[in-house]
A and B are shown apart, each in its own frame.
Chain A
């Protein structure tokens, strides 16, 4: 290691350049940025003192990345053009490498300088569009521009591996790729420099243990302040990350600049005052036991066909995770997490895309409009303003919703997961939240069971019916006989005649068919099955009537010369048929053919069972259709709805 010992050209204090890769050293005594040049040391000017944050990192911390040990030797604090700050740490590896470790909103990005061949031309900063893919940078997957902006180096400490000039501004673009790939184009150099690497956790860089110790120590420090307008107390949950806070006492909007509060203006309440159902400061336990605190609330709106639609968004914060959102719209709830832009299907990053793919799911566009901030309350990690407008597009695949928010300089995607009122009530321990009155864009249809598994009995019925055909056997005729009823004494004196005995088997249904040569007349037969042993009788009525003729040149007929009746099974044994009849032409005898069959194949039982079991699946499908219609009627893209969105959400309700 080449150590250069010298005196600070500004204050003459002894300074040491520990690493050969160090270009600038911040004098720990006078905070001058001292550059090492070929000839001498050069004083580049003083930098501000580093604003302390809850970062788990600190100078001198040792870690390892992909098996290579490093030490954090420098740190710069950069300011976003919108006011936010982020830290860049410089890691000097034992093998001489230097990497940049950027830290923003609780996330870490490890990047290394990526030299490009001379023939590679990067797009100019002015021409670069968010959402654009930059193919000039070699990577395993396309890198997409997620943000472009201007950074100002405001503070630094330790050793910096490039010429950091205090308060010098430089343009940059951040890009993301799949599998946490990350890159930055630094337009402060000419030609621009590219730094490529990945998003990483503290565990990935061997600093997980340090983090816990740091956080425990910092937990005692709170952001207790007072409002510069009314003097009321303010307790910031994330003082090092917050950019804006409103005073709950006087509704002032305050700027948070490195822990200092500045009055901006009063927040103007909209015509319809927002009624946030969850208070700032409320804590909720979500899945995996993660506890988030509500630190801010926003009322936003979109205007569609001249009508404004409002919803509320709660900003959640958990120091070890960062920020999340809880969206409350029409009394529906969504837990919203950020999504890596590069994980979204590339074409969806173009404005106006009709679908987006993420995580193997396809999301259909539901809404695409300008979303406006109407009212704010609490603490925010960006410089929120009333009237702030972004283009917002929502894509749905129940129970998930992908949301794209685009400004000129930034594109963000987030993934919302639908939560029921009961889940929110349980998470925050609040009772009786207002009930939703409509179907949410990504609300899962919970009645899927009734036309999926609910159709199982129907399927089983068909299987059983097919199975019963060979089991029950085929139809057999147990009696077939022609009997002649003698002429009646008068029209009201029926004649009776008995058949020959026949055997009836148990557990077989019975069909009695009677035929008579009636023509434009009737024969009314009462047929009794008499058990020869017990003399018990089962009766059925078999009316036969047949009429036919010619009317206006067209022949017609009605009824038939044969009728039948079917009975349930009877106890097995020997039976005799008693046929008692009256007929229209009673003066003449009538010949009647009677036939008794068993094990007759009938569809009535099957059809009745089928109809009964069909009711619930059909109602389920109808409900699904109605549900999807309600969902898409509020969409700007309802014409593309077909009601076939398949939700894999839990079927949890009844």
Chain B
């Protein structure tokens, strides 16, 4: 059972990676000194200053 769950998990990770590459999603704002927290998947503007 755990094997099936693990394989499903692996497929989910693969699909997530392929989707992020296709749609341009980023896990994090990766500037060396930039803040983290930019959403992985764009969900709408968060407003300006």
Contact = CB atoms under 8 A, between A and B. Distances in A.
Interface of A: 449-450, 453-454, 456-458, 460-461, 464-465, 468, 471-472, 506-510, 526, 528, 530-531, 534, 536-543, 545, 559, 563-571, 578, 580, 598-599, 602, 604-606, 608-609, 612-613, 616, 651, 654
B13 A540 contact: no
B39 to A, nearest CB: 6
B29 A468 contact: no
Contacts of B29: 540, 565-567
Contacts of A566: 26, 29-31, 38
A536 B45 contact: yes
6 closest A-B pairs by CB: A537-B48, A457-B10, A569-B24, A536-B45, A565-B31, A654-B2
Given A531-B45, A568-B26, A613-B13, A465 B31 contact: no
B34 A454 contact: no
A604 B30 contact: yes
Contacts of B6: 450, 454, 616
B22 A654 contact: no
Interface string B9-44: 011011011101111111111111111001111101
Nearest to B30: A566
A506 B13 CA distance: 23
Contacts, number: 140
9 contacts: A450-B6, A457-B14, A468-B18, A537-B47, A543-B33, A565-B38, A569-B23, A578-B48, A605-B26
Given A563-B31, A565-B34, A538 B45 contact: yes
A531 to B, nearest CB: 7
A568 B42 contact: yes
B23 to A, nearest CB: 5
A569 B42 contact: yes
Contact of A468 (B3, B21, B40): B21
Contacts of A460: 10, 14
B13 A461 contact: yes
Contact of B22 (A507, A510, A613): A507
A602 B26 contact: yes
Contacts of A609: 13-14, 16-17
Given A457-B7, A465-B17, A509-B24, A568 B33 contact: no
B43 to A, nearest CB: 9
Contacts of B34: 540-543, 563-565
A564 B24 contact: no
A566 B10 CA distance: 26
A448 to B, nearest CB: 11
B49 A509 contact: no
Contacts of A461: 13-14, 17
Nearest to A460: B14
Nearest to A528: B48
A526 B24 CA distance: 22
Contacts of A564: 31-32, 34
A620 B22 CA distance: 31
A506 B25 CA distance: 11
Contact of A654 (B3, B24, B35): B3
Contacts of A526: 49
A540 B38 contact: yes
B31 A539 contact: no
A536 B21 CA distance: 24
A543 B39 CA distance: 20
A472 B21 CA distance: 7
A238 to B, nearest CB: 44
B24 A457 contact: no
B44 to A, nearest CB: 8
Contacts of A578: 48
A606 B31 CA distance: 17
Nearest to A512: B31
Given A457-B11, A580-B49, A609-B16, A471 B24 contact: no
A537 B46 CA distance: 7
Contact of A537 (B7, B17, B33, B49): B49
Contacts of A570: 42
A528 B47 CA distance: 10
B45 A537 contact: yes
Contacts of B27: 604-605, 608
Contacts of B38: 540, 565-568
Nearest to B42: A568
Nearest to A456: B10
Contacts of B24: 506-510, 568-569, 598-599
Nearest to B38: A567
B48 A509 contact: no
Given A468-B21, A468-B22, A609-B17, A565 B3 contact: no
A612 B47 CA distance: 33
A526 B34 CA distance: 10
Nearest to B43: A568
Given A543-B33, A605-B27, A464 B49 contact: no
Contacts of A542: 31, 34
A581 to B, nearest CB: 13
A472 B38 CA distance: 21
Contacts of B31: 540, 542, 563-566
A564 B39 CA distance: 17
Given A542-B31, A567-B38, A654-B3, A465 B21 contact: yes
Contacts of B25: 509, 568-569, 605
B17 A605 contact: yes
Q: Which of B1, B23, B29, B35 has the most CB of A within 10 A?
A: B29
B29 to A, nearest CB: 5
A349 B14 CA distance: 53
